[in-house]
Structure 1
Amino acid sequence: MTSLSLPDVLPAPRRPSADSVPSLRWGVLGTGWIASRFVASLQASTTQRVMAVGSRTQQTADAFAATHSIERALGSIADLVSDPDVDVVYVATPHHLHRAGALAAVAAGKHVLVEKPIGLNAAEAQEISAAARAAGVFCMEAMWTLFLPRFDVVRQVLEAGLLGEVHTVLADHGEHFDPPHRILDPAMAGGSLLDLGTYVTTLATWALGPATRVQAAGSMTPSGVNGQAAMVLTHAVEATSVLHSTLLTRTPTAATIAGTAATLTLPGPFFMPGDVVVTSADGSRSVTWTDPEPIGHGALHHSAVEAARCIGDGLLESPLHPAEAVQHNLRALDEVATQLGVTYA
């Protein structure tokens, strides 16, 4: 067993402050639950300016704009992406509409932040990223977890080699949903994989690299979407991730990254703000970083801060979550879907 000395304290996060990045003008495409929380987080915690909201109907755009004190409410994608007072578009439509919204924004010369998953599969992700590169605009998947201060602590622990040789990732994400929630609707690319499973596979491929082999088992709901999935991914040098997602039951949503010298634990929900615990392999010593941010979606603004930082620096993608990493994750999910017989309209 490898023995490395744990530090007395874990490293402090290096994320930029919200007021240190350019204040961009945002257009929000979509008026649902995640769009509402994203806008509230931006308005409460950043200097970013939400200038307009776009929806498929004028009525829903008007209602959203009134709720969030947004100046302009626009009743179509075209109107939003062509607005001259919008620098960057946040695509927060249902999954099956991400591709269309992202490509429309890119074609209009707008930078784009697309809710996860950026597309229904790796091919859509690659198409969106390629279009953005060709247009010379910034594009990023809004996998908010990776931009949290909590995850920069994890990033530094991994970079410093404090865990030794990392061989194992364990993670689950389970929530319970009742009809008529969109996650149960096959016409809206529902199911556990793209909503919940993408968190666990992103963590695994982020920590261990691309999956070289995928094995999956699962079940479907009466409505015809994936209800739960158990996944075993093999990565380089035979590292293994054991992952689970379900929309049938609430689970601990905890995660573990384990190495030969120490084990890093993320108490649930692992994908939100929270503590980081590193314990020596023999269990004799433990050190904890305590997150000052409360658990919840009030931290969604960190992905917008990262987008503004990158755009200000003239980058076309984030080094923390580049297009290649997104595609690695979606290729793993594509294989899981194939094995489980899951298709998206």
Structure 2
Amino acid sequence: MAGTVGERVRWGILATGGIAASFTRDLLELPDAEVVAVASRTEEGARAFADRFGIPRAHGDWASLAADEDVDVVYVATPHAAHRAAAGLCLEGGRAVLCEKAFTVNAAEAAELVALARARGLFLMEAMWTYCHPLVRRMRELVADGAIGEVRSVHADFGIDGPFPATHRLRDPAQGGGALLDLGVYPVSFAHLFLGAPSGVSARSVLSEEGVDLQTAAVLSYESGALAVVHCALNAHTPVTASVTGTAGRLEVPHGFFHPDRFVLHRNGREPETVVADPRWGRRDSLHHEAVEVTRCLRAKETESPLVPLDGSLAVMRTLDAIRAQVGVRYPGEAG
């Protein structure tokens, strides 16, 4: 089983890119978190990041961080093509892991990580910050309480305008490039949150010359008769909105659905109600909610989070796999 954590949870950061910097910045604002180590592929990269954030130890390779006994949990912030290797190394070293999304590049890799964590009794969680956001949690509670009746449809969209050159990681198949795994994981995860895993998938994409998706739309169908429509793009700045519609009303997120500052509850026959984020929660783009959940789980000796369950992450990866299979996106090393 996972070990006991002290008064402050000791974090290690694996990778030194933009998302690692954002997460570290937010960790440093938490009174019960301590960032004690960082790892990069080079000593120079790790040391520069450590100096930037006042981190005591800098490791020039991932294995040294995985073996660092002073680290309670590692945040894996590499591109998703490296998640299986990086998170697996940390789990094998006895560290708890919070791994960025998309969890891995495919469901098979995700299943390997989950099996490894469960076999060793270690905590593992996908860093799906949306699921930990208080407003999204409130939306889920309202739906569970029947506020909008039986859910009939979910719509969610996330697009950015680029353009990205062919050399960018988002266009590189070797790094799991494309809109779907980088952006589409949010609309798909949002649909899963309210409807679960679909029974059917129908998808279309616009592909780049490199063979990754620049734009993807999918309809997810459910045995209940409900439908989810999800869209993502690297070639257009879209509204980034979402809605959940039921037989007695709907929930609308007017912008930034994956880290909202408000949503609107429409109930049949009533005036709309706007629910606004509590300013005490901090910035709307803060990643600290997921760190707080990791801390709670570690202190409770839980090896997975009920907010971001591992079986749910596996189900999302299977849906992403099904979409990619339909549109013809395959990454190096995957079976034909």
TM-score by length of 1: 0.91
Match of 1:287? 273
Match of 1:256? 243
Does the aligned pair in 2 maintain the 1:216–1:229 contact within 8 Å?
yes
When the two structures are aligned, how many residues end up with a matched partner? 323
In 1, Cα distance between equivalents of 2:176 and 2:107? 15
In 2, Cα distance between equivalents of 1:45 and 1:23? 10
Match of 1:54? 39
Shift of 1:124: 1.1
Contiguous gaps of at least 5 residues in structure 1: 1-20
Shift of 1:44: 2.2
Letter paired with 2:113:
I
Match of 1:3? none
1:214 corresponds to 2:183? no
Matches within 5 A, 1:1-345: 23-177=8-162, 178-179=164-165, 180-282=167-269, 284-291=270-277, 292=279, 293=281, 296-297=284-285, 299-345=286-332
Does the aligned pair in 2 maintain the 1:226–1:342 contact within 8 Å?
yes
In 1, Cα distance between equivalents of 2:305 and 2:168? 32
In 2, Cα distance between equivalents of 1:46 and 1:199? 29
Letter paired with 1:288:
T
Shift of 1:196: 0.4
Letter paired with 1:248:
N
With over 3 angstroms needed to count, the CA separation of the structure-2 counterparts of 1:181 and 1:68, relative to structure 1, is farther
With over 3 angstroms needed to count, the CA separation of the structure-2 counterparts of 1:227 and 1:56, relative to structure 1, is same
With over 3 angstroms needed to count, the CA separation of the structure-2 counterparts of 1:132 and 1:162, relative to structure 1, is same
Post-superposition CA distance 1:102-155 (Å, at most 9, x none): 111111111110001111111111110110011111000000111011112112
Higher normalized contact order (CA 8 Å, seq sep 6+, divided by chain length): 1
Shift of 1:195: 0.6
Letter paired with 1:216:
A
Shift of 1:176: 2.0
Does the aligned pair in 1 maintain the 2:253–2:260 contact within 8 Å?
no
Shift of 1:181: 3.3
With over 3 angstroms needed to count, the CA separation of the structure-2 counterparts of 1:144 and 1:69, relative to structure 1, is same
Does the aligned pair in 1 maintain the 2:152–2:246 contact within 8 Å?
yes
Does the aligned pair in 2 maintain the 1:274–1:295 contact within 8 Å?
no
With over 3 angstroms needed to count, the CA separation of the structure-2 counterparts of 1:235 and 1:46, relative to structure 1, is farther
In 2, Cα distance between equivalents of 1:41 and 1:197? 24
TM-score by length of 2: 0.93
In 2, Cα distance between equivalents of 1:201 and 1:27? 29
In 2, Cα distance between equivalents of 1:148 and 1:313? 20
Match of 2:3? none
Any idea what SS the aligned residue of 1:164 has? Answer: coil
Shift of 1:296: 4.7
CA root-mean-square deviation: 1.4
Does the aligned pair in 2 maintain the 1:46–1:301 contact within 8 Å?
no
Shift of 1:223: 3.5
Does the aligned pair in 1 maintain the 2:261–2:284 contact within 8 Å?
no
Shift of 1:281: 3.2
In 1, Cα distance between equivalents of 2:111 and 2:259? 27
With over 3 angstroms needed to count, the CA separation of the structure-2 counterparts of 1:46 and 1:197, relative to structure 1, is farther
Contiguous gaps of at least 5 residues in structure 2: 1-5
Letter paired with 2:67:
S
Shift of 1:45: 3.8
In 2, Cα distance between equivalents of 1:276 and 1:207? 15
Post-superposition CA distance 1:20-54 (Å, at most 9, x none): x9521001100011101000011124421110000
Any idea what SS the aligned residue of 1:173 has? Answer: strand
